[in-house]
A = this chain, B = another copy of it.
Amino acid sequence: MVTMSDVAKAAGVSVMTVSNVINGHRYVSDETRRKVTEAIERLGYRMNLAARNLRSGNTGVIGLAVPDLDQPYYGQLAALLVAEARRRGYRVAIEQTGASREGEAEALVHSRLRMYDGLIIATVEVGDAEAGALFADFPVVALGERISTASVDHVGMANYEGARAATRHLLEVGCRRIASVGGRTDGAPGAATLRTSGYLAALREAGIDADERLVLPCAFVSEAGAAAVRRLAADGVPFDGVMCMTDTIAMGVLRGLADLGIGVPAEVAVIGFDDISQATFTVPALSTVAPGHVEMVNAALDMLVERVKGTRPEGVNRQFTGPHRLVVRESTRR
C-alpha cells in the first residue's frame, strides 16, 4: 500500500509537503508541487480515508435510513438525496429499516459508531422515548411524521393540507361517497392519521357525513390497495371516489377497480399522494398530491450539515414543512 511517506520519499520532500499539496493548505512552490504530483501519479498513491477520518473525526458520509428502497417513494427520495448530498461533498450510505422499530433503532446506533457524520432517518416506528435517548449528541434529521417532540430537527410534509386538497378536488369533480384507502382514525402517530384528518376535514367542510365503512386502514403497498377495493365491492358499500394515502396504494386500487370492471374516472375517481414518477404512466394516469420532495431533501440536508459542522447551537431545533401541490391527471378528470 502506497502511503504519503512513500510519496514524500520518492519526491524528495517531507510528508507535510505532500499533505499540503493534496489539500492545498499552504503555499508550496510550483516546482515542489510538480514533483509531488508526479510522484503521486507514478506510484499510484491514493489517500487513505480511514486515516484521515480517524484524524479529523469525520467521515464525509451521511447515513440514510429508509424502510425499504424497493418502494418507489423511498427509491426516489434516496435518488434525490444521494444526488444533492453529493453536490455538498457528502456520500450516502443507505440502511433499510424494514419499517421496524428494531431496524430504526439499529440504524441510529450504527451511525453513532461514527460511521457517518450524521443520519437522515425516515421514521415510521421509532417514537419519542427512543428518539430522546438515541438522538442525544448526534446529528440526526427525522424525515416523516413519527417524531412529535421538538427534540430533533424535523422535515415533514403537508399531510393534512395535501389530503384535504385532494379530497376537496374529488368533491369538486362530483364525488359524494369517497373512500379513504390506507386511512386510519385510531390516532396512531404517522402520515396515515394526519392525511385521514385532512380527508375528514374536507368532507366536513362540504357538509358530508363521513361513513366509517369508507375508511380502510391498510399497509402502504399496492397489494393492500387492490384488496381494499375488492372488499368494499364485496361488502356492497357504494363509493364513487377513492382518496389513497399513497400512490403505491393507488396503483393497487386502480388495479383492483380494473379487476372489478369499474371505470376510472367515469364511475369512480381516484387520487393518490406522493407523486411518484410512475403516476404518470398508470392507466389511467394518476392524479395525486406532490409533496415537494426537492424542497424536503434540501431542507433536510441543510439542517444536517449545519449540525455536522456545529454551526447551530445545541437544543435549538428546526422544523420544515414541504409545500404541497395538487397534480390533476386522468384518474379524476371528468
Contact = CB atoms under 8 A, between A and B. Distances in A.
A49 interface: yes
Contact of A70 (B46, B79, B258, B280): B79
A93 B95 contact: no
Contact of A82 (B1, B91, B94, B112): B94
Given A72-B75, A226-B281, A49 B114 contact: yes
Given A113-B46, A277-B70, A94 B96 contact: no
Contact of A69 (B69, B95, B226, B280): B69
A47 to B, nearest CB: 6
A109 B258 CA distance: 49
Interface size classification for chain A: 35 or more
A222 interface: yes
Nearest to A253: B281
Given A112-B46, A282-B282, A79 B69 contact: yes
Interface in A52-96: 53-54, 57, 59, 61, 68-70, 72, 75-76, 78-80, 82-83, 86, 91-96
A250 B1 CA distance: 48
A100 interface: no
A115 to B, nearest CB: 5
B94 A92 contact: yes
Contacts of A149: none
Interface string A262-287: 00000000000000011011111100
Interface of A: 1, 46-51, 53-54, 57, 59, 61, 68-70, 72, 75-76, 78-80, 82-83, 86, 91-96, 109-110, 112-115, 222, 226, 251-252, 254-255, 258, 277-278, 280-285
